[in-house]
Structure 1
């Protein structure tokens, strides 16, 4: 079957979008583009570029058609995420109820690095900027994304993917906002994050939703056992000496 074959109404992708209720809110051209992007992203050789969809013979549309759709298309991404989150929550709830396993909300950020800075690029990418990469240990140019996943057992599903914009909401506030939307657990539930997100605001935001937070802590962080301020590295080093105090 040719890659250019038309997606039928009975295709798995089409049926999934119908199950999410997309057909009630999105026009046929928008649905067609969404289908093409989903199909393209699952093909071997796809590198996350719009040109890959055309080069892999996945569609007869020109590259500029997809670019215009992304930059000028009118469609409600908030509804798309709302529908997807509802779908994900139902699956995770069912998995937790059947398996009696805890629910995990997992957070991490990443940078979609661009090969050329805006001043050198022939076609500058909108709202790209420099961000610190923990993997490379330096500033890199691109878009920074914050992702949240819901997990239970062997199931791990996307719950939120949002681009971090400098000068607007901090990543701490973004995680707190996501935590406010988390489903109320009917059993054990935990938030998982690295040391960047382990702080009082995020801990409290999850506690209000019935989630305990599990996160790494840097050794220079100050904790207050029994009201006494002390760095973690000092607390662990002298825990025997401080036992009578704490």
Structure 2
């Protein structure tokens, strides 16, 4: 009799959860596509930088795909030397703007601890439009650079989505004025044109009135990193030929 009751107990209903089944049927985290890639699959390169990147990381999150090319850091400044290229779906392109003064200030303080960085008053150009630069002196010979650029989509040149480009680079034996020209050697994969078809802006996208302003090859601006303004000065537009950019030979530590 007791044996029969024991068997009935084994086959009875129970409200206890099976941890194995719960683990199998529970919600799984959504993958963001983080991975390491061969460096030759990078969507951009710096032709004026005479050194090969160490690695390439790619992440995808909330519709933004970001590639980070990592270069060797030969300084004592913490952080990586990186060229970062982010793409965003064209349906959200109107919501994507360049960095404002506050974001630039925060980036400089975070990425260059102990280095006195200053925004360059002249907006430079490469083959894809204008870009902004901040530089700082490092020791007796070296320097650091932070550069940023927004590039619009151009289907004829193979760019189906807008791009955001950022450069963070320090070197113990390259002066700030040399480092400021590194982004002039930017090359995007699949780009058949040497001139930007859509407008490209180094700072936040200007208004329509500013977009129709008189064109010039270079415009001096007076951005101050310690200002309280939230929006950066409107950048220059020009359709002149872009400079080819000098080839920078990276001296190795002796």
TM-score normalised by the chain length of structure 2: 0.25
Structure having the higher strand fraction is 2
TM-score normalised by the chain length of structure 1: 0.25
Structure having the higher helix fraction is 1
